Amino acid sequence: MTQTLSPFAADILGIVGAVIYLGAYAALQLGLIRGNGYLYASLNLVAAGFVLAGMSHRFYPAAAIIQVVIIAISVIGMARLLILSRAIRFSPEEQQMHAAKFPELSRIAARRLFDSGLWLDAEAGTTLMREGETHGVLIYLASGAADIYSAGKHVGTVEDGNFLGEMTVLQNEPATATVVLARDADYFRIEGAKLRRLGARDPEVRVQIENALSRDTRLKLVSANSRLGRGSPVDPS
């Protein structure tokens, strides 16, 4: 091999490679990065490149083979991800739901989520959930609107672009309210058991789902607070 680097520079490159390898592995174990994403593959690729360059001074065939194979595996892994995510197609409704509710979910995981549920439509007046009964589903209202009743009283209206059932679906507990469609609706419906299975398969997906559900609940709470606040005759502060 033609020696273009000084022994010192070669050692530094090798050490940088080792630091990147170890940093990537530590980040993986600490849950900071995903093992099946572009980042982990590219860190391994770069680390292998540095270690290989570091061997221009002292060449070890076994270590060189490992680096070359790691580079090849990383390239194949990234190419696979690219091909899979390019091949994935979404309907306009799925695209809209992905952007609005799960913007950070990979296209592959989002496809898996949509394939686990159904797109349905229903007429105004349809009861989707009953207070006190376990519905075990999550609904995303793509169009239409739903009235929310608690103890028989109208407490709010959920417009399109929002979830229904997000408060109890993961825990499989009784619904906190009754949900009746106020307008004809198109919606996505997925069973809680399937949502939990998707989350158990990939912790990153679980976090994205939990975040999306709690974000919706928070927005509903803010909106309910502001409605109650408008109706309140006294400011207690």
Ligand X SMILES: Nc1ncnc2c1ncn2[C@@H]1O[C@@H]2COP(=O)(O)O[C@H]2[C@H]1O
Residue numbers at the binding site for ligand X (CB under 6 A): 129, 148, 155-156, 158, 163-169, 175-177, 179, 220, 224
Strand partners, 154: 149
Specify the amino acid at residue 155.
Answer: V
Alpha-helical regions (H) of the chain: 7-29, 38-54, 61-87, 92-101, 107-115, 192-201, 203-231
Q: Considering beta carbons, is residue 166 or 204 the nearer one to ligand X?
A: 166
Task: Tell me the C-alpha distance between 231 and 237, whole Å.
Answer: 16
Tokens of 160: 């399109």
Q: Considering beta carbons, is residue 164 or 181 the nearer one to ligand X?
A: 164
Give the shortest CB-137-to-ligand X separation in angstroms.
9
Q: Considering beta carbons, is residue 29 or 171 the nearer one to ligand X?
A: 171
Alpha-helical regions (H) of 150-237: 192-201, 203-231
> CB under 8 Å to 121, separation ≥6 — which residues?
184, 185, 186, 187
Give the shortest CB-231-to-ligand X separation in angstroms.
14
Angle between helices 107-115 and 203-231 (to 10 degrees): 70
> CB under 8 Å to 71, separation ≥6 — which residues?
45, 48, 49, 52
Give the shortest CB-209-to-ligand X separation in angstroms.
14
Residues 144-170 as b or e (16 or more Cβ within 10 Å = b): bbbbbbeeeeebeebebebbbbbbbbb
Give the shortest CB-157-to-ligand X separation in angstroms.
8
Q: Considering beta carbons, is residue 108 or 167 the nearer one to ligand X?
A: 167
Give the shortest CB-112-to-ligand X separation in angstroms.
23
Give the shortest CB-219-to-ligand X separation in angstroms.
9
